[in-house]
Structure 1
Amino acid sequence: MAETSNVIFEDRFTVDTVDKDGKKFDRVSRITAPSHNLNMSLTLDIANELYPLTVDETFTLALARSLIPEELEAANGDEDGEEGVKKIKKELWRSDDQGLAKDYDYVMYGKIYKFDDSAQGDNQTTAYFSFGGLLMALRGSYRHLASVVVGENVYLLMRK
């Protein structure tokens, strides 16, 4: 079955706490935030010099498999085969058109490394992500995280 979108999760969050347990690193803050629409809970390490967030600030968070817009990926996959798509993926960060990243302020690339279904009762799960040492935990209904696969590489995209 073909995927309809590169975006596997998207919702708006409001920052609840910043460095609740104290500041452990100079350039990194750990935020917690509940979502607006999907009843999800987020804990995220963020480079606070690059993208500062304060309590009660609202932001959109998206997770995507690729930064390439679906139209471009489909067109190149049909005409040039897999080689055309690989070339675009490799060079997208250098081009003037940054794909999905152009619509966001903060982008990280990482991996989904674990799921934990044991906490918070029925139909609840936690997906854990690592973005080069900056960690994220996304908790909520397994239905909203159905497209998230352990071992898959993802882009985290944020905008205020």
Structure 2
Amino acid sequence: MSRANTSSAPTGDAILLSETFGINAIDSQKYDRVSRISGSNPDIKFHLDIAHDLYPMAPGETIELCLASTIKLDGSSDMEQAKQGWRDLDETPTLADGYDYVCYGKIYRFEEAGVDSIKAFISFGGLLLYLEGSAKKLTALKHEHVYCLVKKV
């Protein structure tokens, strides 16, 4: 199913994190179809497991990584429906329309990483996202389930 891109974003506190990162390294040696991409910006560093056959990336590229509690543009919850399959929500435009790679998962752990720094660990059905950085930027990550949305910029 293809949808037109939309520049609308959910209202309210649906966007938990939206950052631009430079890709520093890609490790494709451990699994056949999964690569671990590593990147950073001045406030946050990350490692993300991604299905590289679905969405290939290369070091030096820049991506936007967004974490959201819903992809509904009105900001309403879609968690019960998302557990059954977020693609089947309906035909109305969603936040996912503006991104190339979307997955749904669960924040399962936080750790302190220093005076003003924290670590967040998120699982997307076995594919992992690790974020470490400014507590000011990452404190909004209190929701159990989130969408991870990625696009190249």
User: TM-score, length-normalised on structure 2?
Assistant: 0.82
In our comparison, the structure showing a higher alpha carbon Rg is 1
CA distance in 1, matches of 2:26, 2:121: 19
Closer, same or farther: CA 113–92 of 1 in aligned 2, 3 Å: closer
The offset of 1:135, in angstroms, is 0.6
- Structure 2: 5+ residue runs without aligned partners? 1-10
CA distance in 2, matches of 1:132, 1:30: 15
Deviations 1:41-94 (A, max 9, x none): 0111000001111000111000000111136x3xxxxxxxx9xx7898678633
* Identity across the alignment (%): 36
Is residue 79–residue 145 contact of structure 2 (8 Å, CA) maintained in 1?
no
* Structure with higher helix content: 1
CA distance in 2, matches of 1:88, 1:113: 20
The offset of 1:122, in angstroms, is 1.4
Q: 2:126 aligned to 133, 148, 160, which one?
A: 133
Q: 2:29 aligned to 23, 26, 36, which one?
A: 23
Superposed, 1:8-157 pairs within 5 Å as: 8-19=16-27, 23-35=29-41, 39-70=43-74, 73=76, 93-94=87-88, 95-117=90-112, 119=113, 121-149=114-142, 152-157=144-149
Q: Which amino acid aligns with 1:100?
A: L
Is residue 13–residue 34 contact of structure 1 (8 Å, CA) maintained in 2?
yes
Closer, same or farther: CA 93–141 of 1 in aligned 2, 3 Å: same
CA distance in 2, matches of 1:93, 1:55: 29
The offset of 1:146, in angstroms, is 1.2
CA distance in 2, matches of 1:18, 1:51: 13
The offset of 1:96, in angstroms, is 2.6
RMSD: 2.4
Is residue 73–residue 93 contact of structure 2 (8 Å, CA) maintained in 1?
no
Closer, same or farther: CA 122–98 of 1 in aligned 2, 3 Å: same
The offset of 1:134, in angstroms, is 0.3
Number of equivalenced pairs:
140
Partner of 2:8 in structure 1?
none
* Structure with higher strand content: 2
- Structure 1: 5+ residue runs without aligned partners? 74-81
